[in-house]
Amino acid sequence: MNQNEMTSPPRADAPPEPGNELAPLPEASAWTGLRSFLRETLETIALTLVIFVVIRAGVQNFRIEGFSMEPNFHDGQYLLVNKVEYLLHPPERGDVVVFRSPQNLERDFIKRVIGLPGESVEIREGRVLIDGQALTQTYNVNPASYNYGPAKVGPDQLFVLGDNRNSSSDSHSWGMLPHADVIGRAWLSYWPPEHWGVIQTPSFASAAPAPPEAGVPAATPLSNRTPAYP
């Protein structure tokens, strides 16, 4: 280049030369991160609520109050109640069910299913008779000293008794249980730990005739505390 020649300055609107581009300004990343955190938190809370509602719709916890189910269930024992099972099939004899008390729908009771729709139930000398046949009970009970019936179980009804027959407010005192009042089947005992386990339904081949002593297991002594209902 001639020493006397001068180069003209670059035009203001000229494109930048390669390698001289300016980096874009950083965005407000703090606000973006906060929005992401809030969104994830709300999604987690919503999912937790959905799971809780679904579980609550199918399972309910229940605390036993009183001694009506001794010697098999005890005052202060905590159970989980399966609320879905009876949507699939009706209650079976021997099921332990939780239901709204027909005398006070604000209270929940726990009893055992004894009589099913269409059956005749009678209690004589501590024995339970179904359609005139003695029911062999394969679980421990404190037998009744009262007589009852015979009485017919109507459609959509159940006859329920406490295992501690003389200290139980149940069908022998207030009548048949409407199926619509049943909340569900007692499924799992989870507290106290020594009673933890799945609650089994005893098997009944049939309400077959039995000698008097077979239907009346020996009474199990109760606590010295005053028996309470339910």
The whole-angstrom separation of Cα 118 and Cα 120 is: 7
pLDDT at 44: 80
The whole-angstrom separation of Cα 186 and Cα 79 is: 7
The whole-angstrom separation of Cα 208 and Cα 23 is: 92
Whether 46 maps to a domain, the answer reads no
For 16-27, b where at least 16 C-beta lie within 10 A, e where not — what string?
A: eeeeeeeeeeee
Q: What is the largest CA-CA distance in the chain?
A: 135
Whether 3 maps to a domain, the answer reads no
The whole-angstrom separation of Cα 205 and Cα 136 is: 9
pLDDT at 124: 95
Note down the domain range covering 176: 60-215
Q: Which is the catalytic residue, given 111, 168, 171, 189?
A: 111
How many domains is the chain built from?
1
Token output for 182: 């049943």
Q: Which is the catalytic residue, given 8, 29, 36, 68?
A: 68
Whether 32 maps to a domain, the answer reads no
pLDDT at 191: 94
Whether 155 maps to a domain, the answer reads yes
Whether 132 maps to a domain, the answer reads yes
Whether 210 maps to a domain, the answer reads yes
Whether 226 maps to a domain, the answer reads no
pLDDT at 7: 52
Per-residue pLDDT of the chain (230 residues; tens, 9 = 90+): 444 544 555 555 555 555 555 555 455 566 777 777 787 887 788 777 666 566 556 788 999 999 999 999 999 999 999 999 999 999 999 999 999 998 898 899 999 999 999 999 999 999 999 999 999 888 999 999 999 989 999 999 999 999 999 999 999 999 999 999 999 999 999 999 999 999 988 876 444 434 433 343 333 322 222 333 34
pLDDT at 218: 33
The whole-angstrom separation of Cα 77 and Cα 99 is: 17
The whole-angstrom separation of Cα 114 and Cα 202 is: 11
Told to judge if 68 belongs to the known catalytic residues of this protein, a careful annotator would answer: yes
CATH number at residue 113: 2.10.109.10
pLDDT at 56: 59
Token output for 66: 């009183």
Whether 33 maps to a domain, the answer reads no
Told to judge if 203 belongs to the known catalytic residues of this protein, a careful annotator would answer: no
Backbone angles phi, psi at 130, to 5 degrees: -110, 120
